[in-house]
Amino acid sequence: MNGTLYDSLELDGLQSMVFPKESVTPSADSVRWPAEWLQSKIQEIQRVSELLPNSDSYGAYPADPHSIRCAIDRTKSLAVLTIEEPRVACLPNGNILLAWEADDDSWACELEFLPDGRIGYLLADDTNPSRNGEGTKVSLGELVHFIPGTGV
């Protein structure tokens, strides 16, 4: 996913959510600017990528470089969707996780960035149990409606 943000959004199936349909290429008026938290989250992903093997004293793997790259690229795409700020973690298997949860614990959404580019997801919603689910997807476009605060 190297290239411009515009290319990343197209690859993730998010381009039409960010740019108006009549806009073939982005213009200054049609661009949604990234959320203020973008740089701090990229830095946080880079910090967790520096964790050493067994950092949890239970045998955790170091962060996978492909998962890190995927997480950073996808975080850039997510940051233009006006979503709430995610929590960042490095899972024991070395994959990077972005997570959101309600203050009252009524729902949680997690995206795990797999080294092969796919995205593992988990949604637990006590307010609407029919939305509960987990699995893997290739594009953010298939998952963005689960994420709280998206302007889509």
pLDDT digit string, tens, across residues 104-132: 888 899 999 999 999 999 999 898 888 88
Give domain status of residue 16, yes or no.
Answer: no
According to the per-residue pLDDT averaged within each range, which of 3-7, 72-76, 146-150 is highest? 72-76
- Asked whether residue 4 is assigned to any structural domain, the reply reads no
48-61 tens-digit pLDDT: 988 888 888 888 99
- How many structural domains are present in the chain? 1
Q: What is the pLDDT of residue 13?
A: 52
Q: What is the CA radius of gyration of the chain?
A: 16
Question: What does DSSP say about strands 119-125 and 133-137: parallel, antiparallel, or unpaired?
Answer: antiparallel
Q: Is the pTM of this model over 0.85?
A: no
Asked whether residue 13 is assigned to any structural domain, the reply reads: no
* Residues spanned by the domain of 119: 34-146
30 pLDDT band, cuts 50/70/90, is very low
Rounded Cα gap, residues 116 and 28, in angstroms: 34
Position 76 in a domain: yes
Does 104 fall in a domain?
yes
